[in-house]
Amino acid sequence: MPREEYKSKYSLGGGGVIVFSDPANYPSQVEGDPKWKTVVGIHLTHAGGFNHQQLGELVDLLTASPNAQALGEVGLDRTTPSHTWGRQEEVLQKVLKIPSTDQKSSCFTCLGTEMIRMDRMCKVTHLHSFTGEAANVNAWFADFLQAYFSVNTMVEGFDRGQREGLRSVSKNRLLLETDAPHLSPGGEDINTPHRTEDVAVLVARARGTSLEEVLYCSTSNARAIYRIP
């Protein structure tokens, strides 16, 4: 299938998901276009300085519009010194208890650990930049009944166990992401959302399936969990 036909068939129609996880760069308002969904959270690197005022701003954004679809990204970073872990867990528990997030998705990141242990959650959970093995996939499903797994260009460097983990994710729980500007496929200077198809090529190769299936399933899943028309 020609590239332009892929773009037309699997595009989110000029829409997508906008993520704000640095309190210093929180938007003044949520995007009004229903094709663009806003996700607001606190990145792992900012947990140490997260204060009451920033929590208030986060709550305001999450309740400002139906287009504020999820809390994220939030999570744990076990690659940092152990004395910072307690504060990370404190911030994570605090934002997960925001009443307005009960019916919203949550986007998690885990560094240095492949699991977040907490009470079983039935709401949609989006695992950002997932790099785990099959056992980690099963563990997430045990505690997070609606877990979705998102992968990016890091797939290219997956070892055997990680590739098996990627293949163990059912197609109705697979998501693609382009992630940060510095994670550009092909060694280009800047990464942008239009490179999603390049990520799909890597994922299709690792899963041993067609590019069309990866694009179709990941697009359908993104539309469903973020309610993109």
Asked whether residue 3 is assigned to any structural domain, the reply reads no
Q: Answer yes or no: do 83 and 194 share one domain.
A: no
Last-in-domain residue among 69, 102, 135: 102
Task: Give the count of domains, the chain.
Answer: 2
pLDDT, tens digit, for every residue of 196-206? 888 999 999 99
Confidence tier at 3 by pLDDT (50, 70, 90): very low
**Degrees to nearest 5, angle at CA 14 with 8 and 16:** 110
Comparing 2 with 178, the larger pLDDT belongs to 178
pLDDT, tens digit, for every residue of 73-99? 898 888 889 999 899 999 988 898 888
- The whole domain housing 124 covers 114-229
Q: Which of 167, 119, 181, 175 is nearest to 147 (CA)?
A: 175
What DSSP state is assigned to residue 67? T
